[in-house]
Amino acid sequence: MKKFEGLPREIIALRVSREIKDNSYVNLGIGIPTLVSNWLEGRDIILQSEIGMLKTGPIAEGEFIDQDLINASCQAVTEVPGSVYFDICESFGMIRGGHVDITVMGAFQVNAAGDFASWYNPSRGLEGVGNVGGSMDLAVGAKILLIAMEHVTNDGKPKIVRELTYPATAKKKVSKIFTDLAVIDVVPEGLVLKEIYPGLTPEDIQSITEPVLIIAPDIKEIEI
């Protein structure tokens, strides 16, 4: 398979940030999703962290590190005016109860039905006894679930697949996929290719994507 150069991770995150409307409560997963926060400064968007915090501020450094203030990835973060702390049950009440407007997660694999796999890499062994963390709660409770990931694996294999070969996080939940090469809507009819990396053709994207893509009539270059 051909290997294409695409957006760096930070720019995938920028594209995702454009998808988030002001006045939204947003949960950002580990990986590329975490980088989205860099593009939200000045926006009227409140980040929820499953450890038990609303309005998580930027990463803390140096003397501003407080050992009682971390995010769900165990990074030191900061407080801003309007931040709120709460316990884990309240936090997952928000998440599972559908109170978070937009959830952004990474994935190993996504299929055309909107199923995705994100929590367990079979190469680790242990028969699926892995770090589920909050991923399944976030997925099941998501009103809008955006996936941000590389389009293919490190060795060039499609991550947008016909059938998941990694264990699923949840089924029929993904709304939209943002990769380094494309933006794809997940709709009842399948996957709609909406935006592509400048210089690539729909055929290029199809060549590294297992399910047959529906080409949007208004397909355009990824807007940065």
Partner 1 sequence: MNKIVTNLEEAVAGIEDGATIAIGGFFAAGVPRTLLKAIIEKGVTDLTLACGSGPMLGAVNELEEMVKNRQIKKVIDSYGLFRSATKGSKHAFEQQIRAGEIELEIYPMGTLAEKYRAGGAGIPAFFTPTGSGSIIENTTLTNIDSNRKKKETREIDGQTCVLEYALKPDFAFIHAHTSDYEGNLRYRKTARSFNPVMAMAARITIVEAENIVPAGELDPDAIHTPGIFVQRVIKVPRTSFNITNL
Distance, CA of 76 to CA of 79 (rounded, Å): 10
Confirm if 191 and 211 have CB atoms less than 8 A apart: yes
CB of 75 to partner 1, least distance (A): 8
Distance, CA of 51 to CA of 33 (rounded, Å): 16
SS3 at position 154: coil
CB of 51 to partner 1, least distance (A): 5
Confirm if 36 and 45 have CB atoms less than 8 A apart: no
Rg (CA), the chain: 18
Nearer CB in complex with partner 1: 11/132: 132
Amino acid letter, 99: H
User: What residues contact residue 199 under an 8 Å CB cut-off, 6+ apart?
Assistant: none
Which residues bind to partner 1, rule: CB under 8 A? 23, 25, 44, 46, 48-55, 65-72, 74-76, 79-100, 115, 121, 123-137, 140-141, 167-172
CB of 163 to partner 1, least distance (A): 14
In what side-by-side order are the strands of the sheet with 116-117? Answer: 116-117, 109-111, 160-161
* 79 included as an active-site residue: no
CB of 106 to partner 1, least distance (A): 13
Checking DSSP bridges between strand 144-148 and strand 102-105, what pairing results, if any?
parallel
Nearer CB in complex with partner 1: 149/208: 149
Confirm if 191 and 214 have CB atoms less than 8 A apart: yes
Nearer CB in complex with partner 1: 86/212: 86
Q: Which of 10, 41, 50, 90 is catalytic?
A: 50
Nearer CB in complex with partner 1: 135/209: 135
CB of 223 to partner 1, least distance (A): 25
Nearer CB in complex with partner 1: 74/224: 74
Task: Give catalytic residues, as residue numbers.
Answer: 50
